[in-house]
Amino acid sequence: MKKVVVASLLVVASMASVAGPLLAQTQVSLGSNAQAASGGVQLSPAEYKAYNDAISQATPQTKAPAIEAYLTAYPQSPVKASVLEQLMLAYAAFDPAKTLDAADRLLQVDPNNLRALTFEVYFRKQQGDQATDPTAKQTALDSAASFAQKGLAVTTKPADMSDADFAKVKDAATPVFYGAIGAAALNKKDTATAITNYKAELASVPVAQTQTPGVLLQDTFILGQAYYQSTPPDYVNCTWYTSRAAAFAPEPYKSQMMPLAKFCYKKYHGADDGYDAVTAAVQTNLNPPADFKIKPAPSPADIVAGVILSTPDLSTLAISDKEFILANGKPEDAAKVWDTMKGKSVQFPDSTVIAVSDTALQVAVSDDAVQSKTADFTFQLAAPLKTPPAVGAKVTVSGTYASFTPSPILITMSDGAVVEPKKTPAKAPVHHPAHH
């Protein structure tokens, strides 16, 4: 099954889940009329007026240029970090590129600014998501992941921020960081790292937030994709997380998610019976409970054992069924079928020629072999063929079962020969007496 791509659950990926804590601005105490207050910053009257005029603008569109003008006039301002933060927040309302530029400038003077790191991660990941060139996409995602790692390492709050405000910003930024690291890893097929970080993302928020259409619900589905893309695929966890996402997704996204959920379930279970139990369980659990189980499909050896028990006369099985048993059965079960075949002479019509030489003819007999264009029979020729058939031609072949190898299945026949079609004798012309 091809990788499933689900459109974003948000028309424009918004920062609704983090906007509040990120946009809550930290006020800088400047004192009154530029007089230094306890813990405050002293500015000259002229700079204080320029600062106050800039940050007092009513809209982001007017505040941003006013702050830029202030920074141009006072490049070494003692409140430069705070002003750059407000510039970044103003740009965030209408210009992602300038938001990133402001974040870059802010991190030069305040490398651990959590808000700046979050904007770096968010907008660089957005660039990666929108990129069509594979190299550009991975570069942007890796850049976002790098900033995310820095953000996760920030543990010390700024001196002018309260513990409560720092905790709010940290809580809002953490899922953004983990999601970006997961996306960068998954894009380069590092599914183990992707799974670890997507699970950390979902664990970093209240469970109720994972049930709301948005980035977290979409990443729940992508977590299921990561399990599906693992080597070997983890069909149980793929089933769980894709089904969980589909359970809470609105249409049309639910219908886009369900095929992968059902596919993984059927690949593991063998059929879709019992899937209702999964859809019920994911409603109340973010992760699979300890007692969650999906009954696996019977193994090929189990299927063979069932056929052996239920078939009174094994010689009546179709050749494709016999091949399946010889290839997949336990040695004792394969021997039971081979005992009905060895030493017997048979003829196979409409066999497809795969390869031919003076001593052997390889053909595809069963439907699976014909479809895959691989030989499942080798006929050791009793004599070289006068007119060897072309590869791909249909022929009738005869021979005696001599031996087989199970994986991949290849049955060897002795006394092989191509059976020439019988020629129908030409009929004598019929002469009708002339009518007089």
- Domains of the chain in sequence order: 43-230 (1.25.40.10), 231-295 (no CATH), 298-341 (no CATH), 344-421 (2.40.50.110)
pLDDT at 21: 57
Structure tokens at 414: 């002795």
pLDDT at 32: 40
- The secondary structure of 214-252, three-state, reads CHHHHHHHHHHHHHHCCCCCCHHHHHHHHHHHHHHCCCC
pLDDT at 31: 39
Q: Is 0.85 topped by the overall pTM?
A: no
- Return per-residue pLDDT of the chain as tens, 436 residues: 444 444 444 333 445 445 555 555 444 434 344 433 223 678 899 999 999 999 999 999 999 999 999 999 999 999 999 999 999 999 999 999 999 999 999 999 999 999 999 999 999 999 999 999 999 999 999 999 999 999 999 998 888 888 999 999 999 999 999 999 999 999 999 999 999 999 999 999 999 999 999 999 999 999 999 999 999 999 999 999 999 999 999 999 999 999 999 999 999 999 999 999 999 999 999 999 999 999 999 888 888 999 999 999 999 999 999 999 999 999 999 999 999 999 999 999 999 999 999 999 999 999 989 999 999 999 999 999 999 999 999 999 999 999 999 989 999 999 999 998 765 555 555 554 444 4
pLDDT at 161: 84
| β-strand partners of 32 | 35
pLDDT at 19: 52
Give the C-alpha separation, 97 to 81, whole Å.
19
Q: Can you list the alpha helix ranges (DSSP code H) found in 270-330?
A: 275-281, 300-310, 319-328
pLDDT at 428: 53
Closest by Cα among 406, 407, 346 to 379: 346
Closest by Cα among 350, 353, 334 to 342: 334
**HSE-up (13 A, CA, CB side) for residue 362:** 13
pLDDT at 29: 39
Q: Is 81 exposed, middle or buried (0-12, 13-18, 19+ CB in 10 A)?
A: buried
C-beta separation of 298 from 270 below 8 A = yes
DSSP state of 203: H
pLDDT at 211: 96
pLDDT at 260: 97
